[in-house]
């Protein structure tokens, strides 16, 4: 059982020094301070309709729509300027970055505040009269955080609006939380402070437990837990975060080349790099290579006879407690390859699905239909993949069946 009280204490209390940030930015609305190395000098503001948050944006909104980053601070601090230099740098490259907490606020934050940020941005983008009306790309949303804020990011990474997750000097504290890893379906990136970072062991443990096929990047820069957030423009962590967000949220493959392949840009720098399932176009690779099609003048391929299942499904409860459970369904192709699958899951009375990973669910109780994600639908003959979910109630007694999609 992974349980690190010392790390928990540090992740709950580490707050990067913000003296330089608060001097430069203050706690006043937009227009007070402008900066960042990007083409759109950025500042911060607050909004009455989004209390206890700090919004970093280009001072003059560009014609291009802004992708969205929602951010949890180190120490789960309610000071939205805790990583002010870092977030202002990101905004200056054409992003809307929303931090938990008011400028120079006090107290602590929760993961629900990240969801509030996404809700607000989506609403403002569609509200006539808003300065952000039609200016935001609500199909491109990153959730990320530093230290304790990284734990907040994990907690909401299964929000269907999230495009990618960023974990900065953070890692889950207990094995009981590993379900958050199993439900990941979108690309994730870790930016850690190297072996001297107190979060390093937990980040490495998380890395080893990511779902098979999930696109993932890990970079370690040996600067310790505090990172470089309070340096001008967020220092090296700011530079690399901008590159990652340009790739994942703007489709910039030149920026993406810093993360993909044996000769990636960060591979040739002071960063120590690990990669899983990465392709430069940002799409998860298929589980297997598509079959080679050879032209033929012979008779067409005959599909399996009616009644022969294209795949099978096996259901297993992994954990059960008084009010809920975690279950896994293993899908196996039959004697011919398939390009997609559909599982019919019949839950017992009183049981329902609360979150799912590596599959897309239609319905939550009774008969639930689950289809493959884009990266785990193609299976060779006899090949298996799996999806999992957390549910409420008692998971025993469920039945499953599988068909090709």
Query: Which domains does the chain possess?
Result: 5-276 (3.40.50.1820), 311-404 (2.60.40.290)
- State the Cα–Cα distance between residues 405 and 162, nearest whole angstrom: 25
pLDDT for 328: 85
pLDDT for 336: 92
- Smallest CA-to-CA distance from 237 within 125, 321, 146, 371 is with 146
Report strand pairing: 66-72 vs 399-404.
unpaired
pLDDT for 317: 86
pLDDT for 290: 38
pLDDT along the chain (405 residues), means of 10: 58 50 32 76 96 96 96 96 96 98 95 96 95 95 97 94 97 92 94 95 95 95 95 96 97 96 94 94 46 42 56 87 82 92 93 84 92 85 86 91 91
pLDDT for 389: 84
Is this structure's pTM higher than 0.85? no
pLDDT for 104: 95
DSSP 66-106: EEEEEEE-GGGBSBTTTTHHHHHHHHTTT-EEEEESBTT--
pLDDT for 49: 96
Q: Are 279 and 260 in contact (CB under 8 A)?
A: yes
Half-sphere exposure of 283 (CA within 13 A, CB side): 8
pLDDT for 292: 40
pLDDT for 11: 67
pLDDT for 20: 34
């Amino acid at each position: 059982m992974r349980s690190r009280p010392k790390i928990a204490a540090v992740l709950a209390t580490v707050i990067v020094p913000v003296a330089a940030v608060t001097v430069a930015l203050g706690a006043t609305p937009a227009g007070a301070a402008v900066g960042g190395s990007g083409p759109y000098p950025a500042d911060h503001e607050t909004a009455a309709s989004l209390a206890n948050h700090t919004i970093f944006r280009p001072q003059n909104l560009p014609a291009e729509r802004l992708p969205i980053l929602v951010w949890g601070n180190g120490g789960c601090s309610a000071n939205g300027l805790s990583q002010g230099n870092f977030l202002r740098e990101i905004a200056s490259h054409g992003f809307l970055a929303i931090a938990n907490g008011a400028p120079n606020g006090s107290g602590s934050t929760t993961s629900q505040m990240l969801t509030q940020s996404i809700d607000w941005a989506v609403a403002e983008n569609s509200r006539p009269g808003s300065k952000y009306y039609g200016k935001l790309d609500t199909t491109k949303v990153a959730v990320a955080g530093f230290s304790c804020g990284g734990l907040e990011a994990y907690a909401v990474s299964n929000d269907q609006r999230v495009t990618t997750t960023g974990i900065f000097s953070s890692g889950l504290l207990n094995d009981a939380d590993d379900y958050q890893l199993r439900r990941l379906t979108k690309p994730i990136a870790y930016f850690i402070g190297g072996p001297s970072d107190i979060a390093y062991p937990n980040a490495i443990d998380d890395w080893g437990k990511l779902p098979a096929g999930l696109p993932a990047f890990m970079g370690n820069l040996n600067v310790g837990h505090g990172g470089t957030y309070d340096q001008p423009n967020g220092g090296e962590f700011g530079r690399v975060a901008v590159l990652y967000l340009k790739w994942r949220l703007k489709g910039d493959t030149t920026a993406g080349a810093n993360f993909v392949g044996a000769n990636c840009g960060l591979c040739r720098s002071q960063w120590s790099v690990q990669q899983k399932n990465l392709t430069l176009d940002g799409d998860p690779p298929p589980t297997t290579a598509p079959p080679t099609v050879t032209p033929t003048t012979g008779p067409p391929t005959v599909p399996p006879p009616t009644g022969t299942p294209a795949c099978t499904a096996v259901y297993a409860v992994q954990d059960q407690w008084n009010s809920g459970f975690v279950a896994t369904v293993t899908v196996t192709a039959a004697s011919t390859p398939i390009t997609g699958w559909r599982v019919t899951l019949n839950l017992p009375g009183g049981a329902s699905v609360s979150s799912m990973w590596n599959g897309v669910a239609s319905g939550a109780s009774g008969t639930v239909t689950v289809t493959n994600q884009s990266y785990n639908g193609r299976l060779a003959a006899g090949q298996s993949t799996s999806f999992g979910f957390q549910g409420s109630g008692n998971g025993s007694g469920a039945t499953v069946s599988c068909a090709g999609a």
